[in-house]
Amino acid sequence: MNPLNVEYPSPNTSEIPAEPALRVEGLTKRFHPSMPPVVDNLSFAVAPGEIFALLGPSGCGKTTALRLIAGFERPDRGQVWLGQENLTHRPPEKRGIGFVFQDYALFPHLSVFDNVAFGLRSLSPSARRQRVEEVLGLVGLTVFKDRRPHELSGGQQQRVALARAIAPGPKVVLLDEPFSSLDAGLRQVTRDEVRELLKRSGIGAVLVTHDQEEALSFAERLAVMRAGSLEQIGTPEEVYTRPLTPFVAQFLGRTNLIPGEARGIEAETPLGLLRLAEGAVGPVLLSLRPEGFVLEPGGEAVVLSREFKGHDLTYRVRLDGRDYVVQADPHCPCRPGDRVRLEVRDPAVVVGRRGGEV
């Protein structure tokens, strides 16, 4: 049921890389015949060395999508390609794809060295030793090679898991919420280290996360998933500044959804005539980020609440019976109860076309 009676545009898949490393086509998976598919006709492509993220709320099918790509689950329909090779019916160990699990899944009884060597059993002992030392050097864990996983910090264990995944030289690694069990400070540092490592080694990656900030800062391109399907694909900037649907606009940070009547590059709205990022005609639903406003003391609007966040302030402001979330600089003197003027600085983005009243 769509209470706003809004039509959603289809995801922007136009920027599929010319020669992708990984290509997923129409992947579909249903666990129960009476339930909708958990992954529904999923298609995307990852360029060689590209860092890609699948972002979506809990339960939208991200992990299942990753497990289908890795071969831990069989799709009902669809295909997985690595370069020119169709992997769809290959077992996981023959796919040439690395996998880093959410809980690292290291072998507790094996040393760091043996954990990393695990996927290299086909190599001769001397080639295996050389490769493990090379990869441990790359992730900066050479001095810990004789330790067991429980003798390492969470961030170090994460790097062992990554080393084990990249040791066999995959073209792509799949990362399933790999930072979620680290505390906030360590998460940021480990994330930066892993990103830098992936870029240095030229391995493409697909990161699964429900954390929009993580996806925006880690990925070069990301796909927003909702209920098993892709809602939008693009660079972090594109998806944040030009969301195609109300869901994407709201999932990637806070926004204001405003009904309007578009007339080309402008729309008539309860906030007056607003400039549009792209021309449109007719009844539309617009997204305007909190940072798209300027707040001035004195005016018709009333400040309802003030949320101080250090680097900025977020206000909830009421005008003509509608509430808006507005960001201001931390020196803004406005307080709850104050009268203010809401000026719109940024163009509004059309996120849907309305077929009925809003």
Ligand X SMILES: Nc1ncnc2c1ncn2[C@@H]1O[C@H](COP(=O)(O)OP(=O)(O)OP(=O)(O)O)[C@@H](O)[C@H]1O
Q: Which residues of this chain interact with ligand X, rule CB under 6 A?
A: 31, 38, 56, 58-64, 210
Burial 245-262 (b: 16+ CB within 10 A, else e): bbbbbebbeebbbbbbeb
If the CB atoms of residues 50 and 176 are measured against ligand X, the closer one turns out to be 176
Q: Any idea which residue has 């927003």 for tokens?
A: 224
If the CB atoms of residues 61 and 352 are measured against ligand X, the closer one turns out to be 61
CB of 56 to ligand X, least distance (A): 6
Q: Any idea which residue has 């240095």 for tokens?
A: 200
Q: Are 161 and 135 in contact (CB under 8 A)?
A: no
CB of 33 to ligand X, least distance (A): 12
If the CB atoms of residues 38 and 173 are measured against ligand X, the closer one turns out to be 38
If the CB atoms of residues 231 and 266 are measured against ligand X, the closer one turns out to be 231
CB of 67 to ligand X, least distance (A): 8
CB of 318 to ligand X, least distance (A): 35
In degrees and rounded to multiples of 5, residue 205 shows phi and psi of: -145, 145
If the CB atoms of residues 95 and 226 are measured against ligand X, the closer one turns out to be 226
Query: To which H or E segment does residue 184 belong?
Result: helix 184-201
277 by Cβ neighbours in 10 Å (0-12 / 13-18 / 19+) ranks as middle
One-letter amino acid of 269: T
273 Cα distance to chain centroid: 33
- Helix 184-201 vs helix 154-166: crossing angle, to nearest 10: 20
CB of 57 to ligand X, least distance (A): 7
Is residue 126 helix, strand or coil?
A: helix
Structure tokens at 272: 């007056």
CB of 38 to ligand X, least distance (A): 4
Is residue 351 helix, strand or coil?
A: strand
CB of 310 to ligand X, least distance (A): 28
If the CB atoms of residues 85 and 103 are measured against ligand X, the closer one turns out to be 103
If the CB atoms of residues 44 and 324 are measured against ligand X, the closer one turns out to be 44
